[in-house]
Structure 1
Amino acid sequence: MENKSEIVLVLQGLNDSLTNRHIYFTLALMSYFITIFTNLLLIVTICTETTLHEPIYIFVCNLCFNGICGASSFYPKLLHDLLVDSYVITYSGCFTQIFVVYSYVFCDFTTLTIMAYDRYLAICKPLQYRTLMTVQKVVQLLLLTWCFSLLETSIGVILTTRLTICSRHVRKIFCTNWEVVKLSCSDTASINIYGFVLTFLHLSQTGLILVSYTHLVRSSLQSCSCRRKFGQTCLPHLVTLLVFTSSLLFDAMYARYGSSSLQTLQNVLAAEFLVVPPVINPIIYGINLRHIRSRIVHHFTHKPSKDVGSEVSLSLKIKLSN
């Protein structure tokens, strides 16, 4: 039996990009730097400003941190591959990438679900919000998000590692669970069953989001204050949710039904959920959430005040000398 740790997989997604790889490298590097900078800017702003230590901003901070993790699971390997002539990845490296990518996906979707629940409490039950969304509750929800996401991913990765790999050619520019499953020549029934279980779980999360937004829209139509809250915090969340889910749907549909002839288009669609949401999310929340926007603007435009103590001491010296 072949030692799986010695298996080397070939990433075929960049085969048609040899002539333009330096251009792609520059674009990918700039995109990665922008993603890291914008997300870190929001994280640092939220962590350093005590006025932003509210549940909604903590969840935004978690979303940005997860975005950095997702982007970092994709860009470093891509940048390396764009500089070399051999696009390969080890078996363990492939599953490490799968683990981080899917943890990012599940954590992002669960965070967006929790944020919808938080907005439901804030707008539909404003008088009970402080008692329902306590610090302990926020910590519990964050722990639930990460533990649930890591558990989902771990089970899927364990099931996939049990398969026998009969091919070495991955059609994408990075490893995904579905692409590795397609390389197997053994029974994949357990993977398919688990896929249906995950689909049911995340459809349930989608249902929770839809129910929350049904109540949110009804409440926003009843008062001006609710409409203002809905516009400031719910619309950015809704845009983020639509960008993320549409990116996942594009990748899932094209991976199963897309043509392999348009390799560049396939690469773009395959990487969209790892590229677009992490760079768009901090921009959306940084612009639309007034408190975050004002603190960011304050950091970049604030001029340090003069040292009052120095002025007082100087005036005393002048009086004494006179």
Structure 2
Amino acid sequence: MDNVSQITMFFLSGLNETNNHRFTLFFLTLLCYCVTLLVNISVIVTIIMDKNLHEPMYILLCTICMNGLYGTTGFYPKFLWDLLSPVHVISYSGCLVQALVMYSFACAELSILSVMAYDRYVAICRPLEYHSVMSKQRLIMLVCFSWITPFCINASNIFLTSRLKLCSQYLGRFFCVNWIIVKLACFPAQTTVNGIVADITVVIYTFHGIFIVLSYMYLIKTCANSIENRAKFMQTCVPHLTSLLTFLLTGLFSVLIMRFGSKDFPLTFKNFVSVECFVIPPLMNPLIYGFKLTRIRNRILVVLTFKTK
């Protein structure tokens, strides 16, 4: 038990520069959270309630919206609480749970986008085999893979972090990040295994990204020679590509700022940029799909019209 941290609380310092505007920031954040909940739940309920939408593409859309709710739950409630609290603290176990939720959300998002890319590849390039390849059993297996694997991988990272003896309880962030907790270790030599597992995780999800890019490159090449395929690509693949670019750009920007951000940048700026991938994709994904996919849009309009009559 000598190597188990005795720290029971972390002090978060990322919000110290926002005290003068915390009420304005609170209401803007609350509004953003409520809209995120509303649009995601609307898409999820629409797909669940309409049996005509129980197809692989829409089930995967439902999955990515559920993942968005999961990720935002790990960030918004604690952040909103801290905006109204004079002291910004989080328990040791709570910090590890938050880090697990946010990391597993990001990895699951990439996994789901990978399955979506595979689904569109089969639908456009192998249309006659689509229903046999994307069977109900395979779809369930892929969805479970998209959620369980990221959770287990990141749970391993968090477990290794929980075994470190920490020499500080001050985090320069307003949310918990695993690699920052690891940097608080008293003995850097003990973090070797953490570094190896983290690098393996990065490699795994880098391959996910490469797979997605190659899939869409092949799809674009295939669709260029067919008017029918081009129409199908514009209707169903453009929302996927938009979601992918939104997630990758916000995620990459967040990582670059967190790890290599200049010391000239204010801490508040670096902190808010670092949470873009936990705020923008969960808000934008259901809006993108809701407006672009005709069947989702029409179904939501029917529900809204019925309720207003």
Please, what TM-score do these two structures have when normalized by structure 1?
0.91
Tell me the CA shift for residue 147 of structure 1. 1.5
Q: Deviations over 1:109-148 (max 9, x none)?
A: 1000000000000001011101110111111111111121
Letter in 2 for 1:109: L
Q: Which runs of 4+ in 1 moved over 3 A?
A: 1-6, 302-305
Match of 1:164, SS state, is coil
Relative to structure 1, is the Cα distance of residues 114 and 3 closer, same or farther in structure 2, using a 3 angstrom cutoff? closer
Residue among 272, 275, 278 paired with 1:271: 275
Q: Is the 8 A contact 1:5 1:92 kept in 2?
A: no
Relative to structure 1, is the Cα distance of residues 2 and 80 closer, same or farther in structure 2, using a 3 angstrom cutoff? farther
More divergent stretch after superposition (188-197 vs 66-75): 188-197
Relative to structure 1, is the Cα distance of residues 79 and 5 closer, same or farther in structure 2, using a 3 angstrom cutoff? farther
User: What does 1:1-322 align with in structure 2 at a 5 Å threshold?
Assistant: 4=5, 6-186=7-187, 187=189, 188-260=191-263, 261-302=265-306
Relative to structure 1, is the Cα distance of residues 285 and 5 closer, same or farther in structure 2, using a 3 angstrom cutoff? farther
Tell me the CA shift for residue 185 of structure 1. 2.2
The structure with the larger Rg is: 1
Letter in 2 for 1:59: L
Q: Deviations over 1:70-112 (max 9, x none)?
A: 0010010011101110001110010010111111111111000
Query: Percent same amino acid among aligned pairs?
Result: 38
Q: In 2, Cα distance between the equivalents of 1:21 and 1:304?
A: 37
Tell me the CA shift for residue 212 of structure 1. 1.1
Tell me the CA shift for residue 259 of structure 1. 3.2
Q: Is the 8 A contact 2:104 2:150 kept in 1?
A: yes
Q: Is the 8 A contact 1:124 1:215 kept in 2?
A: no
Q: Is the 8 A contact 1:12 1:87 kept in 2?
A: yes
Structure 1 residue runs of 5 or longer lacking an equivalent are 306-322
Q: In 2, Cα distance between the equivalents of 1:146 and 1:302?
A: 35
Q: Give me the CA root mean square deviation.
A: 1.6
Q: Which has the higher contact order (CA 8 A, sep 6+)?
A: 2
Letter in 2 for 1:274: F
Match of 2:121, SS state, is helix
Letter in 1 for 2:251: L
Relative to structure 1, is the Cα distance of residues 139 and 91 closer, same or farther in structure 2, using a 3 angstrom cutoff? same
Q: Deviations over 1:28-81 (max 9, x none)?
A: 110110000000000000001111111010000000000001001001001110
Relative to structure 1, is the Cα distance of residues 135 and 81 closer, same or farther in structure 2, using a 3 angstrom cutoff? same
Q: Deviations over 1:199-258 (max 9, x none)?
A: 221121122112211221122112112111111111111111111111111121111111
Q: Deviations over 1:143-196 (max 9, x none)?
A: 111121111111111111121111111111100111111211222211111122
Q: Is the 8 A contact 2:4 2:164 kept in 1?
A: no
Q: In 2, Cα distance between the equivalents of 1:122 and 1:86?
A: 53
Tell me the CA shift for residue 5 of structure 1. 6.4
Q: In 2, Cα distance between the equivalents of 1:40 and 1:159?
A: 35
Q: In 1, Cα distance between the equivalents of 2:118 and 2:3?
A: 49
Q: Is the 8 A contact 2:108 2:150 kept in 1?
A: yes
Q: In 1, Cα distance between the equivalents of 2:135 and 2:105?
A: 26
Please, what TM-score do these two structures have when normalized by structure 2?
0.95
